[in-house]
Amino acid sequence: MAAFSERMGLLFLACVSLCLSSTQAVDRGNFKTCDQSAFCKRQRAVKPGQSSYRALLETLELSNSRLTLQLINDNNKVRLLLELYRLQGNMTRVKINELKPLKPRYEVPDVLITDPPTEPLSVLSQDENGVVLSLGVETRRLIVSARPFRLDIMEGPQVLLSLNSRGLLAFEHLRLRKDTLSDKISSTVGSMWDKIKNVFSSNSQTDPAGAERTEDSDTADQHVEEKAADGESDKEDEEQPGEWEETFKSHTDNKPNGPSSISLDFSLPGVEHVYGIPEHADNLKLKTTDGGDPYRLYNLDVFQYELFNPMALYGAVPVLLSHNAQRTMGIFWLNAAETWVDISSNTAGKTVFGKMLDYVQGASETPQTDVRWISESGIIDVFIMLGPKPTDVFSQYASLTGTQSFPPLAALAYHQCRWNYNDQDDVRGVDQGFDDHDIPYDFIWLDIEHTDGKRYFTWDPNKFSQPREMLQNLMDKRRKMVAIVDPHIKVDSGYKIHNEIRSKNFYIKNKDGGDYEGWCWPGSAGYPDFTNPEMRAWWASMFAYDQYEGSMENLYTWNDMNEPSVFNGPEVTMHKDAVHGNWEHRDVHNLYGFYVQMATAEGLIQRSGGVERPFVLTRAFFAGSQRYGAVWTGDNAAEWDHLKISIPMCLSLGLVGISLCGADVGGFFKTPSQELLVRWYQTGAYQPFFRAHAHLDTPRREPWLFGPENTALIREVVRQRYTLLPYWYQLFYHAYRTGHPVMRPLWVEYPEDVATFAIDDEFLLGKDLLVHPVTEEGARGVTAYLPGSEAWYDVHTFQKHNGGQNLYIPVTMSSIPVFQRAGSIIPRKDPRKDPYTFYVALNSQKTAEGELYIDDGHTFNYEKERQFIHRRLTFANNVLTSSNLAPDAQFSTTSWIEKVVFLGAHKPGAVTLKTADGESALEFEFNAAMSVLTLRKPGMNAGADWVVQLR
């Protein structure tokens, strides 16, 4: 029987593999639309209009940290509890839960880094219509309207944001099923009769029922008795399709808790541009969803995803940003269940001409965007981040969920991967190929085939029999490896990992209490319950060098398939009625990948005794995943449109805290043309996570396999990446400290420039580099928008271009349009040498500023011991100065300054250098045609104070 089962499993996997290799695009039929998701369909059937909820102002209670107020649904008399918090940093938190639920509803743990600190709320005025609260600043107020319930946040006369202004608050309270309810009423009546008999038959003064009562049973009985007493026969008693059971294709989802979905609408007056809620393969600016499906947030293993639709993908971050020329705000909907987001706008579909006509004719309609969130379960817990600047919103969100982890320097370099490098000889040959062709790289990756029969934490005994030798060979060249460790565990009594998880009872359970099993790469697989902190601690311990045999300190980890992927499950994922302790999978689904990456990152830290920074790549993610490593955009295709979409996909992730993002260079599926491959390298080299990756069935793609001309083009762009590593590293240090994105849309730095609001084919790295990749086949030129009033310098030619214009740039196959902002200083470094070169791009005032950050590149000593160098570079009044930004930090470096290049300079009469050792004259060259001044080998230490004077 076991042999038959194994053969059937292999047959199943062969069929899956065949489908993967032959299908041309996503099979939409595998994934639900809103109409096929019962709760989404029910909630969407609620149309804007008069809300059934009103606030019971007599229940208002105000403490130093929060306001509570009961809401009542006039249709069914069910009460909700509203909690309002004014948070530090110009944020407001709104929580809505049932006042007396039948049982607790799920509230997301572990995502917030701390209980957000509050500030006092005060009542400014109150009458029978509502209450006005102060939000600290005199002009900023929060107004709670009573009938119907509505919440407005105002600044002066302006409404910044409204909740339930369209009346779409809908909270499906937990209830007993109709047949269960009848039984419960009969039981309650019988119990009451027994109590009466006990009173007459006993002189005891104790509880006549003679039994303990629990809060849950009291609540349940109260619910039943209220229903029975009121004689209610509202429509909730008339069971609607999908409330208690739902079938999709061949899968039935049993819902023992019944309908539990929630919905709330937010209105944003004056707003036409909203962004965020990744992950979707779509433009940066979110589209309206009227007449189509909402954007879906439900982590799924989507094979070869389609572009430009709101389907769910591998990750879900329920954060939306709004922006206009006056203000940026954010909405963080803290819910881990399946979620749909509807967006509508009163200006949607209007052409530019139509908007101008409205203006000429004096139309008074204010632009407005309305956003509606719908989740299957849990509570309403929403953070409103009031900005007002884009950087304020980033800092506000970071204060809630943390910042991007600071990666090891090598993680920002080039990564080489495919599914799969065949064996140790193959790894050795690829590694040597990079040396032979003089192309730098830091990481080589192994996919699932490196394991012993898809048993993670193992090595194939024939193909990878000496993993430590392989890793040592890489270490000798200061290189590293990433090996995949997926969270589906082969059910095999001879497999240590499986046996320990089963013996510790750490597997997710099915609805009947047995271990949940599904099909994935190993065949029949169990799924560890990563929501359990004991399970996460055990998982982390498995990365210890004495547990993960063959591992070494230069082996890092990739978590794939962690949506979780279940080949034979509904929508290729886990059944929602699977059980995690006290909760159903439907409550926690979008957290699963977050917890897998958390436990893995902790394992890599623990194995080094807390010394070394981890590097972990994840496919599934949630709010807060930025704290644990990198993400990538999943299984893309070798198509030009997939290259283009990688830009807005990573921009969207950066806006919600996840800066370490990239896309598979060359496309995972299919075979890129030589032109596409080169253009993808040129784009990927300027995105935060730079990894080439390819499907098992594609031809080999190492960079030297496409002829000497293309090899040279790829070599050049990879070297450009390495040259800019000091700048990348500095940007990630700032992302770690502030939460500001590394790769950012133009509007983040130019928030008043309406022309930037919808641009997503170019981007900024920090504020000082602008990149417009070539993403059109056969392109002879691109048009880049150069924002701002200051100039931009082409980093390759040093040609100066004025800001505030659309610039047409002729391109060849070697062209990568990249510009440095006038007024900036950027450090670069030759990958083969230690010294730095500073590029000083002067603005119209002949000033510039920048920074230099240096540490050991791989430990936590920058944080624990303050071992780092952080220096400010400034140029003003013909003086370039390096000053210490962290005088209490201690770190030394042998790196020195080999060259300083001034762009937009005048020819000086002389140049002098002043250091602690004295003053000396420097040699220089001046290119009058390009206004470029070059100081060669000034020789000062990168960590020292010094002054360069142009005379």
**Residues labelled as active-site residues:** 560, 635
d(CA 761, CA 583): 43
Tokens of 511: 């609805």
Tally Cβ neighbours within 10 Å of residue 568.
Answer: 14
Question: What is the distance between the alpha carbons of residues 936 and 898, in angstroms, rounded to a whole number?
Answer: 6
- Torsion sign (Cα): 213, 215, 220, 225: positive
C-alpha dihedral over 841, 842, 843, 845, to 10 degrees? 160
Q: Which residues lie across from 43 on neighbouring strands?
A: none
In contact, 572 and 566? CB cutoff 8 Å: yes
Sign of the Cα pseudo-torsion (830, 628, 522, 21, in order): negative
Give yes or no for a cis peptide into 688 (omega within 30° of 0).
no
Rounded Cα distance between 287 and 184, Å, is: 48
Q: Which two tokens stand for residue 848?
A: 């510039």
> How large is the C-alpha radius of gyration of the chain?
30
CA distance 276 to 280: 9
Of the candidates 348, 367, 343, the residue with the CA atom closest to the CA atom of residue 274: 343
Instruction: Give, as one character, the DSSP assignment of residue 408.
Output: -
Q: How would you write 531-547 as a 3-class SS string?
A: CCHHHHHHHHHCCCCCC
- Whether a cis peptide bond, with omega within 30° of 0, leads into 279 is yes
Query: What six digits make up the tokens of 527?
Result: 């799924």
Sole residue written with tokens 């009451």: 192
The secondary element (H helix, E strand) that includes residue 213 is none
| Cα–Cα dist 613/747, whole Å | 33
Burial group, residue 494, by CB count within 10 angstroms (0-12, 13-18, 19+): exposed
Contacts of 881 by beta carbon, 8 Å cutoff, 6+ apart: 873, 874, 875, 946, 947, 948
CA gap 396, 330 in Å, rounded: 9
The residues, ordered by sequence, that sit 6+ positions from 30 with a Cβ below 8 Å of its Cβ are: 249, 571, 572
Extract the tokens encoding 788.
């701002």
- Residues in a beta bridge with 841: 824, 903
* Helical ranges in 402-545 per DSSP H: 424-436, 467-476, 496-503, 533-541
- What single DSSP character describes residue 421? -
Q: What angle do CA 433, 437, 441 make, to 5 degrees?
A: 70
Angle, to 10 degrees, between the axis of helix 533-541 and the axis of helix 592-607?
Answer: 40
- Alpha-carbon distance 98 to 106, whole Å? 12
> What token pair was written down for 291?
């007449």
DSSP state of 665: B
What is the C-alpha to C-alpha distance for residues 448 and 445, in angstroms, rounded to an integer?
10
